[in-house]
Amino acid sequence: MFAAFDNFPALLIWLPLAGGLISFFLKSEKASKLNALFFSVLTLAVLSVSLLYTDPKHYLLNQVSYVWLPNLGSSFGLILDGLTRLLCLLTAILFPLVFLMIPEGRYENANRFYGLMLLTQCGLLGVFMATDALVFYLFWELALIPVYFLSSIWGGEKRIRATFKFFIYTFLGSLFLLIGILYMYLKTSTGSFGLVAFYNAQLTLTEQYVVFFLFFIAFAIKMPIFPLHTWQPEAYEQAPTPVTMILSGVMVKMGLFGLLRWLLPLFPKAVQEFSLPIIVVIIFGVLYASVLALKQDNIKRLIAYSSIAHIGLMAAGAFTVKEVAMHGLTLQLFSHGINIVAFWMVADLIERQTGVSKISELGGIARKAPQLAIFFVIAAFANIALPLTNAFVGEFMIFNGLYQYNPWIAGAAGLSIILAAAYTLSLVKNTFFGEPAAAVASYKDIRPKESFVFATLTVLIFFVGIFPSPFFKLIYETVGLIVNRYVII
Amino acid sequence: MIQYVFLIPLLPLIGFLINGLFRNYLTKTVSGWIGTGVMLASFILSIALFNQVRQPGFQQHVIFYFDFIRAGGLYIPFSFNVDQLSVLFLLIITGIGTLIHLYSTAYMHEESNDHFARYFAYLNLFVFSMLLLVLGANYVIMFIGWEGVGLCSYLLIGFWFGNPEYTKAAKKAFVMNRIGDLGFLLAIFWMITQFDSVRYLEIFSKAPGAPVVVLTGITMLLFIGAMGKSAQIPLYTWLPDAMAGPTPVSALIHAATMVTAGIYMIARSNVLYNLAPVTENTVAIIGLATALLAATIALKQNDIKKVLAYSTVSQLGLMFLALGVGAYTAGVFHVMTHAFFKALLFLAAGSVIHAMHHEQDITQMGGLRKKLPITHVTFLIGCLAIAGIPPFAGFFSKDEILAAAHDRSPILYAFSIIASLMTSFYMFRLYFLTFGGSFRGSEKQFSHVHESPMAMTVPLMVLAVLSIAGGWIGIPEVFVHNAHWLSAFLEPVIPIFKPHHTPLSHQTELALMGAVVILILGMIVWAYRTFGKSNVSFSTPEGISKMMANKWYVDEAYDFLIVKPLNAISIWIEKMVETRWIDGLVNGVGKMVLFGSRQIRMLQSGQVGSYILVMVISILVILMYQLFWKS
Amino acid sequence: MDTPVIPVNYYIFLSAALFAIGLVGVLTRRNAIIIFMCIELMLNSVNVLLVAFSKMHHVAAFALDRSTAVGTEAQIFVFFIMVVAAAEVTVGLAIIVMLYRNIHSVDINFLNRLKH
């Protein structure tokens, strides 16, 4: 019936934007929460319907382009291909769940809070769908700015400092990105910002190297990659937890997505030239973050370092440009989003109830809250990539690609899975096991609403872990296109 | 029957789901029956499957279910492999599993309903993972099971999570296993690179064409995996600590099944190992060293479960010795008999612990033979079996290992005999201290000791029968011609052991066998003379004994060499690199800008005169430049 | 009819001297009014120079063509400058008067707080 309907991408942008703007005019917290839930679920629904229109032969289905700034050679181009669908799905699934988990009365001026969150969602979806560099840049910033306000208004004690650091870091990256985009624009034959025009731009080797680094720094800060990561633990610690969930679950994926959509296809020669040193640095960073996580006493910082390690693995996988690693990493984008958000949700519940986020002051929650404990153990084992959980499939393939790239690097990176087990299980042991500590004396188990969220996440964890085929079918074309650019060389 | 093989692992999974999801609503009876029932059903299915596989002319079956991973040139099907080896392990796992589930219904009865159900859920999940491990038709499925059993081991060791020591042991077990798992993973990647497949059939058919270096590397990495799971040097220290779990768990996971996964893996990959002699020798040496080291430690332990744990490590070492000398059948045979008698010993020990109200220290026991008649007899049978007294099960399998070792090298033979002698000594030390002599605890304690209920004694009796008769499926050539049924049965998977040297004459072999048995009997007598008396004195160990009692300080050494430095590095990075260097650099850039601007601000003094002066001087400079330098 | 002509050099020296005096005054004095007068002096030294050059130019052109008006524009321009300067002086003096009302001083060293 809707065979000719191809406006899904635009709908996906407008829905959260409209919801966000409406939210600012709502009075009560309840209404704004309902509004946020409504629009985020609607986005998910639209995306789900659009998934039904996946035609494997037609990966460019649902590509739209609107007149925007014709004299600049920029058009408002959006696309829903496999990679985009996967990331949009992640975004669309996580936002309603995050909204559900926000307790009432937690944040002052809730309408603005929800509004800014929805604007973030709009920015994120835009980043993933943009086929035009200028549009991409616009959404890249659009996703950043609401997060800045969210963190600096509703964040923790040291929020101003942390947010400022976060902003300066990412903004610096954005500037590099902008310079890179403008340079590429000048180099296109027709003077266009379109993705395809960028792909076809002719650059000399030196130009490619320089512009490669301009893009790379922007994405590296966003992911983040060692040694550009120091904004992250602070930002995660200080931002309000729902924002942290979005930051770590989806926003850091912007960097990896940037690698896949822009960096790798645009600069194949530079990638091949610099992949070895970059991978070595990244893997060093992975181990560095893993070792750091061992002795963290703050749950949030521990999760942050764990995330840096996992993201680093994905980034290293991307730079191998091995087919198997690329597939694995794309799936891992999705899996990591689910797992890390699951982690944050538990951390948030603990902190909300006990007012403590120091691991040494916690303990024995499993006695008081067995259901939460079960879920946390599942999330923990998903985090250390136990087989049949989602992360295993992706990490197995990434490691496989790394091994093909260089067995020694794969071996070194493999140490991180041991360290991951060590710090994750320490976290489980010290917070959930043992006899209840003073702080958790009156701990209450999860309520049905939270059970629902956790059950959803658990189902996702196991579904992807046991039966990843549908996801691979979804991304097959897009990943193939990226890898093909390297085969030709 | 083959088409129903998926039911064998599926049933325990269903049991896990029911017990896990409805643990708050099930009574102990119901969850116990569900847990045991699914196991029994699996066992019956396994027997049916075994009957089919047993038929002559049975061909190895690979049953495909779905594509697990099919992307980016990587193809990993989710498929099961049914052949003689996997069926044998199916029987061991489901058979002993059923008995231990039954035993647990009584042993764990003190737990509250939900914890009771949780226990059975974990146990069922373990069996599911273990079955996945042995049924998988490629290394990745094996790895899934491999990690799955590790997870269940973690959950069950830390079952009483209120005790920080127990959860620490659980974590240690998992992390040490992970070290091995990394080796396993790298081996898989190497196999993918070399053979472009993870499927057994394909790898084994392509293996002879691969360079020896590659095969050596792959098998070494696989062996590292086995080291972790099967507790070999240097990754064995988790197993004794794993005794923190409930005793039936120790029996099932840390004696009978999971720890033998490494042996299964190497036996399964015997094609690869046969092509890599260097690895084979390494396996043999490490196995033997582990057998000896663990045996020395077991001599001085006073915790009933710790003795059994080190005994397990030691026996596993013997199995690896068998694998290393190329006697894969002997290794698998010993896995089987060991599963019988070690499960029996653990369960009997559990019965003792149960009767003694969770007292595990053998210096507080003694004279329990009258109070616990069934436990006593079955424990004795277990001891005789493990010591290797004919015609008990352990004799045949151990003898086969010794014979194979003798064929390779007299040194291996001599050391393995020493290990067996120590085994018989510490086992009978344990036996006499527990059941012989007179009770060393308080009167009140003694009066409370009572024999365990039927649900616990029945599995003991069944296992006792198996410990007696289990070895008769592998009677050596010396006694009866062509009576080694097991070797014939496994022949399609594991080629029959080919001696390097001309086999010994039957007389010599019998004489050696007799000599070993006499030495073992001598050990038992020595143990009796030392520990069988009614008043045994326990002195604080000195010198070497102290080293042995303290496990050669290996744990302390690991702590000092690895754990502490790692933690120190972590703290140092946090304090120095993270905050001082990287953040310092970032903040330094900011400070530079601030500092620079402060300097430049000095120029803006607000003194009009100075502005004008600068202006005039600048104009003059420009003028001079224009007039004199420009041209 | 040989009227003695003052060479243009003299004018240049005069103008330079006036300019230098003005400049030194601006640099060294602190009284705003004197500085103001010195600025006027510098301005007028430029005017002198302008008129002198214009006359020189005109004389040269006049010798070739008696009907030419070349060089006279500058002298007209000087009038403009004087008018603008007068306007400027008005504004400047007004500011100084306002300052004096506020801080009872016309010493520029007291005026360095404009930057704050």
Q: What is the CA radius of gyration of chain B?
A: 31
**Contact with chain B for residue A312, Cβ under 8 A:** no
Nearest to A78 by CA among A142, A19, A13: A13
Asked if B220 has any chain A CB less than 8 Å from its own CB, the reply is no
Chain C hits for B609, Cβ within 8 Å: 26-28, 30, 108
CB A149 within 8 A of CB A117: no
Q: Are B400 and B326 in contact (CB under 8 A)?
A: no
Say which residue, B581 or A465, is predicted with more confidence. Answer: A465
Q: How far apart are CA A37 and CA A286, in angstroms?
A: 36
Q: Map residue B68 onto helix, strand or coil.
A: strand
- Contacts with B605 from chain C: Cβ below 8 Å: 112
- Which residues of chain C have a Cβ shorter than 8 Å from any chain B Cβ? 23, 26-28, 30, 108-109, 111-115
CB pair distance less than 8 Å for B573 and A292: yes
Q: Which tops the pLDDT comparison, A9 or B168?
A: B168
> What is the C-alpha R_g of chain A?
21
Residues of C in contact with B616 (CB under 8 A): 23, 27
Q: Is the dihedral of CA A351, A355, A357, A362 positive or negative?
A: negative
Question: B589 falls in which pLDDT band (50, 70, 90)?
Answer: confident
Between the ranges A162-171, B119-128, B560-569, where is the mean pLDDT highest?
B119-128
What pLDDT, in 10s, does the model give residues B262-321?
A: 999 999 999 999 999 999 999 999 999 999 999 999 888 888 899 999 999 999 999 999
d(C-alpha B145, C-alpha B122), whole Å: 14
Tokens of C91: 């504004």
B32 touching A (Cβ < 8 Å)? no
pLDDT in tens, A302-314: 999 999 999 999 9
Mean pLDDT of chain A: 87
Any C CB within 8 A of B606 CB: yes
- Percentage of chain B beyond pLDDT 70 is 100
| B602–C contact, CB cutoff 8 A | no
Tell whether the model's pLDDT for residue B456 goes beyond 50.
yes
Chains linked to C by 3 or more Cβ pairs within 8 Å: B
- As a whole number, the mean pLDDT across chain B is 88
Residue A489: predicted pLDDT: 54
Give chain A's residues under pLDDT 70: 1-6, 53-62, 488-489
List the single residue in B with minimal CA-CA distance to A290. Answer: B570
Contact A291 B566 (CB under 8 A): yes
CB proximity under 8 Å: A 103-132 to B: none
Structure confidence by residue, pLDDT tens digits, C42-55? 999 999 999 988 88
CB pair distance less than 8 Å for C27 and B613: yes
Q: Is B408 a residue whose pLDDT tops 90?
A: no
* Residues of chain B numbered 558-587 and touching chain A (CB < 8 Å): 566-567, 569-571, 573-574, 577-578, 582-583, 586
Using one digit for the tens of pLDDT, what is the confidence trace for A27-55? 888 888 889 899 999 999 888 888 776 55
What does the pLDDT read at residue C26?
A: 87
The predicted pLDDT at position A353 comes to 84
In this structure, are residues B486 and B360 in contact, taking their beta carbons and an 8 Å threshold?
no
Question: Which residues does chain A have within 8 Å of residue B140's beta carbon, measured at their own beta carbons?
Answer: 396
Task: Summarize pLDDT for B169-195 with one digit per residue, the tens.
Answer: 999 999 999 999 999 999 999 999 998
**Cβ pair B189:A411 closer than 8 A:** no
- The angle at the Cα of A347, spanning A341 to A350, to the nearest 5 degrees, equals 145
Reading the block at residue A97, the tokens are 């769940």
CA distance B78 to chain A (A): 10
Cβ of B607 within 8 Å of Cβ of C109? The answer is: yes
User: What pLDDT is recorded for position B215?
Assistant: 92
Q: How many percent of chain C have pLDDT more than 70?
A: 92
Chains A and C share 3 or more Cβ pairs within 8 Å: no
pLDDT confidence bin for B537, thresholds 50/70/90:
confident
Q: What is the pLDDT of residues B73-106, one digit of tens each?
A: 889 999 999 989 999 999 999 999 999 999 999 8
CA-CA distance, B511 to B399, in Å (whole number)?
A: 13
Binary contact (A472, B70; C-beta < 8 A): yes
The residues with which C31 forms a beta bridge, in sequence order, are: C107
User: What does the radius of gyration of chain C's CA atoms come to, in whole angstroms?
Assistant: 19
- Segment of A104-108, A447-451, B54-58, B587-591 carrying the highest mean pLDDT: A447-451
How many Å apart are CA B451 and CA A156, to the nearest integer?
A: 61
Tokens 């650099």 identify what position? B585
CB of B568 less than 8 A from some CB of C:
no
Q: Which chains, if any, share at least 3 CB pairs under 8 A with chain B?
A: A, C
Q: Which residues of B334-357 are buried (b: 16+ CB within 10 A; e: fewer)?
A: bbbbbbbbbbbbbbbbbbbbbbbe
Shortest distance between the Cα of B602 and any Cα of chain C, in A, equals 12
Q: Which of B70, B167, B185 sits opposite A414 (nearest CB)?
A: B185
Residue of C108, C112, C114 to mutate for B, most B C-beta atoms under 10 A = C112
**What pLDDT, on the 0 to 100 scale, is given for residue B631?**
61
Interface contact B72-A327, CB threshold 8 A: yes
How far is Cα C46 from Cα C49, in angstroms, rounded to an integer? 5
Which tokens go with A489?
Answer: 């060389």
**Least CB-CB distance to A400: which of B155, B189, B582?**
B189
Say if residue C116's pLDDT is above 50: no
Q: Is pLDDT at B122 greater than 90 in this prediction? A: yes
Report B:101-120 residues touching A (Cβ under 8 A).
Answer: 114
The phi and psi torsions of A388 (rounded to 5 degrees) equal 75, 0
Nearest to A295 among B178, B190, B567 (CB): B567
* Cβ-contact A459, A375 below 8 angstroms: no
CA angle, A481 as apex, A478 and A484 as ends, to 5°? 150
Residue C112 has pLDDT above 70, yes or no: no
Residue B464 has pLDDT above 90, yes or no: yes
- Is-contact B322 B401, C-beta < 8 A? yes
Which of B606, B607, B612 is facing C26, going by the closest CB pair?
B612
Contact of A393 with chain B, judged by CB distance below 8 Å, is answered with yes
Mean pLDDT of B619-623: 91
Contact at CB, A425 and B154, closer than 8 angstroms: yes
**Rounded distance between C-alpha atoms, residue A295 and residue A422, angstroms:** 10
Chain A / chain B CB contacts < 8 angstroms: 137
By Cβ distance, the residue of C23, C26, C112 closest to B607 is C112
Among chain C residues, CA nearest to B609: C27
pTM of this prediction? 0.87
CA distance A22 to A33: 12
Contacts of A434 in chain B (CB under 8 A): 161-164, 167
| Residue-level pLDDT at C3 | 67
Give the whole-angstrom CA distance, residue B422 versus residue A298: 49
Q: What is the pLDDT of residue B218?
A: 92
What would the mean pLDDT of B229-252 be, rounded to a whole number?
89
**Does B620 touch chain C if contact means CB atoms closer than 8 Å?**
no
> In Å, how far from its chain's centre is CA A443?
31
Instruction: Give yes or no for a cis peptide into A240 (omega within 30° of 0).
Output: no
Q: How far apart are CA C33 and CA C31, in angstroms?
A: 6
What residue of B is the nearest CA neighbor of A380?
A: B151
Spatial CA neighbour of A220 closest among A153, A327, A308: A308
- Angstrom distances, CA of residue B192 to CA of A238, A404, A486, B287: 44, 9, 22, 28
pLDDT of residue A51: 78
- Three-state SS sequence of A251-267: HHHHHHHHHHHHHHHHC
Q: Is the pLDDT of residue B346 over 50?
A: yes
